[in-house]
Amino acid sequence: MNDRLLRAARRQPTDTTPVWLMRQAGRYLPEYRAIRGNIAFLDLCKNPDLAAEVTVQPVTRLGVDAAIIFSDILIPVEAMGITLELGDKGPHFPNPVRSAADIDKLGVPDPVEGTGFVAEAIRRTRKALNDSVPVIGFAGAPFTLAAYMVEGGGSKSYILIKRLMFEQPELAHRLFGKLTDTLIPYLKMQVEAGASIVQIFDSWGGELSPWDYERFCIPYLKRMVSELKATGVPVIVFGVGMSTHLQLLKSTGADVVGLDWTLPADEGRKVLGPDVAIQGNLDPLHLFLPREELDGRVKDILRRAGPVGHIFNLGHGILPPTDPDAAKFLVEAVHRHGVALRQGTLGG
């Protein structure tokens, strides 16, 4: 196996910098669109053969150092007993969670019974790749999932989830606790199926102040990270707009902290210290730069991050209009300049 990603996550030397891209299996790839044109998104997530096929597509086309299983962070939420609609306009919960009764109705599902198709997709992905690269398992963080469930979908202000937290904190903690009880076995199932590393997405964590994040999110993330690390796999935590939360993310015990594009990698390292690996952090829209400028951005990030304990990634997910050739150029540039960085020959 190409184990660069796993070695970098554990802050071990690598021959070059590993790279994968958040949302690397998706709408920017024509081969994905060809499959997606014949099936609804949620049905695609639940079809192990097709989910494995689209998971493998970017590994084949781009040469990335890992496959991240094709799924959605809201899959385990649906298994808790809430109706989920996933379309091109994003997720929608027609019956959002707003009361103690709504929270009490939610179950803590058996992961195999409720979401076993994810595990099967991981097994089929490993077989299709012949274990040539690691498979990344993932889940959303309790706050981010709760935000969708309470708001009924995406939000600009997050007023409903925040009011729940601030006006009825005991209910918010009950919801976060039930989500955590669901997510831990869900991620363990992915590890048992063959995921070699897992990432926890707290996509909307940056909407909270550090004080609120520490109070409402960190206890649950610590539980998740601790239980997952006990399985022997590295754990990545990531959120958008969380440059002021890095010390809190480090306190979870995660092996890797993902950085968005708003903080230079070397500044992130200063905050996090030498005992945590970092992941990131190219602005996804930099993939629209001329190739020479994109190449320069890659060099700058590699220099700032250093040769050990760095996984190259975007600062958030790749965007649908992205040219796949730009993504391939990026991967090749990271690998080429990563070698030069280790040899001390990385030019300007």
Q: Is 223 marked as binding a ligand? A: no
What's the alpha-carbon Rg for the chain, to the nearest Å? 19
What's the one-letter identity of residue 103?
A: I
Catalytic member of 3, 10, 11, 36: 36
Q: Is 203 marked as binding a ligand? A: yes
Distance CA 315, CA 297 (A): 13
**What does the angle CA 227 – CA 233 – CA 237 come to, to the nearest 5 degrees?**
70
Catalytic member of 10, 11, 27, 123: 27
Active site residue 303: no
Q: Is 24 marked as binding a ligand? A: yes
Question: Is 106 within 8 Å of 150 (Cβ atoms)?
Answer: no
Q: Is 27 marked as binding a ligand? A: yes
Active site residue 148: yes
How many other CB atoms are found less than 10 A from the CB of residue 94? 10
For 19-51, letters b (16+ CB in 10 Å) and e give bbbbbbbbebbebbeebbeeeeebebbbbbebb
**What does the angle CA 169 – CA 86 – CA 249 come to, to the nearest 5 degrees?**
45
Residue indicated by tokens 């730069």: 289
* Peptide bond before residue 47 is cis, with ω within 30 degrees of 0: no
Q: Is 66 marked as binding a ligand? A: no
Catalytic member of 72, 202, 255, 260: 72
Active site residue 23: yes
Q: Is 245 marked as binding a ligand? A: no
Q: Is 132 marked as binding a ligand? A: no
Catalytic member of 23, 61, 126, 269: 23
Distance CA 3, CA 136 (A): 12
Active site residue 295: no
Q: Is 148 marked as binding a ligand? A: yes
Q: Is 72 marked as binding a ligand? A: yes
Alpha helices per DSSP H over the chain? 4-9, 30-36, 41-45, 48-62, 75-79, 100-105, 111-129, 142-151, 159-167, 169-193, 210-216, 218-229, 246-251, 265-272, 291-305, 324-343
Catalytic member of 61, 65, 126, 148: 148
Residue list for the binding site: 23-27, 72, 148, 203, 316
Positions marked active-site: 23, 27, 36, 72, 148
Residue list for the binding site for substrate: 23-27, 72, 148, 203, 316
